Structure formats: structure tokens, C-alpha cells
């Protein structure tokens, strides 16, 4: 059966329409693909921003918790640091405040190395009312030739309105032979 001219024209027209619609949908697909890639990118950026917000919030909550538990007007913090020329392996630090043991910290080799490299450790944070107090600090360790050291220091504290920060530096600079406590109060 032969196709008439009219039929043939209609067939061509249908084929052309089908071709155009396919082209259109291909363009849509490619634009969809590029828009989804953009969506992913913006989603990723949103997630990163959200993570940063969470970390910032966590940090703020931590600071707030400390401020609530240890308000500045009653806060007292004791730090330990080391400044030794000769080898000294710190073993432990014990703190007594007004005759009550408040801290007893055992240092591992890793922690002692960190102190030797300049690290500062907050060994105690607590609350004290204003007035006179007594802090007794004791450290034990091993010096050169596997010699045991045990040293103490008694510090009279005058607690005022603001926070009190005390640094206990284990140093052998003064005596050049034996490690001793050097007490420093931060302003």
C-alpha cells in the first residue's frame, strides 16, 4: 500500500515532533543533572556550616558550665608546669587545701614528657570563699641516677574577690641540683 503525499507529510511531521521532544527532554535531563550537582554542593556546604555551629556551641556550653560551677568570684585553679635542666621524671602531685586533700594526680610517662616540653597541666579547679587559706603541694618523682625525689611546699593564699590562679613550677634552676617547687600567682 503506497503512502499518499498527505500521509507522508503527516508522518514526517510526527517524526519531527518526536525528535524535538526528545531533544527537549535531553536538555531537561542535562539541566537536571547540573542542578542536582549544585544541590549537592550547597547541601555539603550546609552540612559543613552546621558542623561548625555544633562545635562552636559545644565550646560555648563548656565555658558556660565552668562559669556556672566555678564562678570567678570563688574560683581557684592550680596549674603544674616544669622547668628542669637535668632529667626528672615526675610521678605524682598531691594538693591539700585547708588540710583537705583536693587533688592526687598520677602522671604517666607521656604526660610527664608533655610537661617537660613546656606543657601546663591544670591539676585542680575548685571554689574558695574569700579570706586566708593554706595550700600544701607535694610532688614525687625520679631524678638522674634513678634517685627518688619528694618535695613539698606550703603556700598561704589570700583569696580576694576575683579568681585565683596559682602555678606550681617544678624547677631546678635555683639549686641546679635538685628540683623544687616555685610558686607563682597569676594576676
Partner 1 sequence: MGLRSNNRSVDRRRALFALLLPFSWLIHCEVASSAPADLMSQPASDFALRSLGQENIRLSEQLGEVVILNFWATWCGPCRQEMPLLDAIYSKYRRAGLVLLSINIDEDEEQAAEMAKTLRVSYPVLLDARNEVAKAYELGTLPLTVLIDREGTVRYVSEGFKPGYEKRYTDTLRELLNE
- Per CB under 8 A, residues contacting partner 1 are 91-92, 105-111
Smallest gap from Cβ 107 to partner 1, in A, equals: 6
108 vs 145, beta carbon nearer partner 1: 108
93 vs 157, beta carbon nearer partner 1: 93
CB 180 within 8 A of CB 85: no
11 DSSP 8-state letter = H
Smallest gap from Cβ 27 to partner 1, in A, equals: 49
92 vs 154, beta carbon nearer partner 1: 92
Three-state SS at 125? strand
Smallest gap from Cβ 148 to partner 1, in A, equals: 11
37 φ, ψ to 5°? -65, -40
14 vs 106, beta carbon nearer partner 1: 106
CB 76 within 8 A of CB 125: yes
Smallest gap from Cβ 106 to partner 1, in A, equals: 4
CA dihedral 91, 97, 103, 106 (to 10 degrees): 0
Amino acid at each position: 500500500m503506497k503512502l499518499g503525499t498527505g500521509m507522508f507529510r503527516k508522518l514526517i511531521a510526527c517524526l519531527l515532533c518526536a525528535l524535538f521532544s526528545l531533544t527537549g527532554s535531553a536538555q531537561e535531563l542535562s539541566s537536571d543533572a547540573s542542578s542536582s550537582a549544585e544541590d549537592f554542593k550547597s547541601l555539603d556546604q550546609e552540612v559543613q556550616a552546621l558542623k561548625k555551629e555544633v562545635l562552636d556551641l559545644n565550646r560555648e556550653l563548656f565555658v558556660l558550665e565552668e562559669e556556672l560551677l566555678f564562678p570567678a568570684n570563688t574560683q581557684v585553679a592550680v596549674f603544674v608546669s616544669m622547668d628542669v635542666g637535668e632529667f626528672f621524671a615526675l610521678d605524682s602531685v598531691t594538693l591539700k587545701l585547708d588540710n583537705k586533700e583536693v587533688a592526687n594526680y598520677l602522671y604517666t610517662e607521656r604526660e610527664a614528657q608533655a610537661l617537660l616540653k613546656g606543657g601546663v597541666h591544670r591539676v585542680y579547679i575548685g571554689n574558695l570563699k574569700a579570706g586566708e587559706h593554706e595550700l600544701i603541694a607535694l610532688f614525687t618523682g625520679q631524678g638522674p641516677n634513678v634517685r627518688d625525689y619528694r618535695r613539698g611546699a606550703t603556700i598561704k593564699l589570700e583569696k580576694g574577690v576575683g579568681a585565683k590562679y596559682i602555678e606550681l613550677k617544678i624547677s631546678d634552676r635555683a639549686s641546679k641540683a635538685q628540683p623544687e617547687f616555685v610558686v607563682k600567682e597569676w594576676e
